[in-house]
Protein backbone atom coordinates (compact mmCIF):
# COMPACT_ATOMS: atom_id res chain seq x y z
CA UNK A 1 0.00 0.00 0.00
CA UNK A 2 1.43 3.37 -0.98
CA UNK A 3 0.47 6.11 1.42
CA UNK A 4 0.09 9.79 0.77
CA UNK A 5 3.31 11.73 1.36
CA UNK A 6 1.47 14.53 3.15
CA UNK A 7 -0.14 12.05 5.51
CA UNK A 8 3.35 10.85 6.39
CA UNK A 9 4.78 14.29 7.15
CA UNK A 10 1.73 15.27 9.19
CA UNK A 11 3.17 13.39 12.17
CA UNK A 12 5.80 15.29 14.21
CA UNK A 13 7.78 12.14 15.00
CA UNK A 14 8.08 11.28 11.31
CA UNK A 15 9.16 14.84 10.52
CA UNK A 16 11.81 14.52 13.23
CA UNK A 17 13.00 11.22 11.75
CA UNK A 18 13.27 12.88 8.33
CA UNK A 19 15.34 15.67 9.87
CA UNK A 20 17.66 13.15 11.52
CA UNK A 21 18.35 11.09 8.44
CA UNK A 22 18.64 14.15 6.21
CA UNK A 23 22.09 14.63 7.73
CA UNK A 24 23.24 11.01 7.49
CA UNK A 25 21.89 7.50 6.99
CA UNK A 26 21.01 5.85 10.28
CA UNK A 27 20.01 2.44 11.60
CA UNK A 28 16.61 2.01 13.26
CA UNK A 29 18.31 1.61 16.64
CA UNK A 30 20.28 4.83 16.20
CA UNK A 31 17.09 6.64 15.21
CA UNK A 32 15.20 5.22 18.20
CA UNK A 33 17.81 6.63 20.61
CA UNK A 34 16.57 10.13 19.77
CA UNK A 35 12.99 9.47 20.92
CA UNK A 36 11.19 8.59 24.14
CA UNK A 37 9.18 5.86 22.47
CA UNK A 38 9.53 2.16 21.80
CA UNK A 39 11.67 0.69 19.06
CA UNK A 40 8.47 -0.85 17.65
CA UNK A 41 6.85 2.59 17.35
CA UNK A 42 9.90 3.88 15.48
CA UNK A 43 9.73 0.85 13.18
CA UNK A 44 6.12 1.69 12.40
CA UNK A 45 7.08 5.26 11.54
CA UNK A 46 9.93 4.00 9.34
CA UNK A 47 7.53 1.66 7.56
CA UNK A 48 5.12 4.50 6.79
CA UNK A 49 7.94 6.75 5.56
CA UNK A 50 9.22 3.89 3.40
CA UNK A 51 5.76 3.24 1.96
CA UNK A 52 5.56 6.91 1.01
CA UNK A 53 9.01 6.61 -0.55
CA UNK A 54 10.33 9.46 1.61
CA UNK A 55 13.11 7.22 2.89
CA UNK A 56 14.80 4.13 1.55
CA UNK A 57 16.45 1.24 3.32
CA UNK A 58 19.97 0.22 2.38
CA UNK A 59 21.46 -3.07 3.58
CA UNK A 60 25.11 -2.88 4.66
CA UNK A 61 26.27 -6.18 6.06
CA UNK A 62 23.96 -7.08 8.93
CA UNK A 63 22.70 -3.52 9.38
CA UNK A 64 19.91 -1.66 7.61
CA UNK A 65 20.45 2.05 7.13
CA UNK A 66 17.68 4.47 6.29
CA UNK A 67 18.39 7.48 4.13
CA UNK A 68 16.33 10.31 2.75
CA UNK A 69 14.79 9.97 -0.71
CA UNK A 70 15.37 13.42 -2.20
CA UNK A 71 13.00 12.98 -5.17
CA UNK A 72 9.98 12.73 -2.92
CA UNK A 73 11.09 15.69 -0.84
CA UNK A 74 11.21 17.72 -4.05
CA UNK A 75 7.54 16.83 -4.62
CA UNK A 76 6.70 18.38 -1.24
CA UNK A 77 8.81 21.42 -2.05
CA UNK A 78 7.07 21.84 -5.39
CA UNK A 79 3.68 21.83 -3.67
CA UNK A 80 4.90 24.32 -1.06
CA UNK A 81 6.33 26.62 -3.73
CA UNK A 82 2.87 27.97 -4.58
CA UNK A 83 2.44 29.12 -0.99
CA UNK A 84 5.98 30.43 -0.77
CA UNK A 85 5.23 32.78 -3.67
CA UNK A 86 2.06 34.01 -1.97
CA UNK A 87 3.91 34.61 1.32
CA UNK A 88 6.75 36.43 -0.40
CA UNK A 89 4.25 38.65 -2.20
CA UNK A 90 2.46 39.43 1.07
CA UNK A 91 5.76 40.26 2.81
CA UNK A 92 6.74 42.47 -0.09
CA UNK A 93 3.43 44.33 0.19
CA UNK A 94 3.94 44.68 3.94
CA UNK A 95 7.43 46.09 3.34
CA UNK A 96 5.95 48.68 0.98
CA UNK A 97 3.34 49.71 3.56
CA UNK A 98 5.97 49.97 6.31
CA UNK A 99 8.22 52.10 4.10
CA UNK A 100 5.33 54.47 3.36
CA UNK A 101 4.46 54.72 7.05
CA UNK A 102 8.07 55.38 7.94
CA UNK A 103 8.28 58.21 5.38
CA UNK A 104 5.27 59.99 6.91
pLDDT digits (tens, 9 = 90+) for 12-48: 999 999 999 999 999 999 999 999 999 999 999 999 9
Cβ neighbours for 31, distance < 8 A, ≥ 6 positions apart: 17, 20, 21, 42, 46, 66
- Mean pLDDT over each residue of the chain, to the nearest integer: 91
CATH assignment of 5-103? 1.10.10.10
CB 66 within 8 A of CB 53: no
Amino acid sequence: MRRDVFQAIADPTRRAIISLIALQAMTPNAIALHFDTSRQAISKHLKILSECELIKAKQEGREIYYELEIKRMKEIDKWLEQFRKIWENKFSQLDDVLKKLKQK
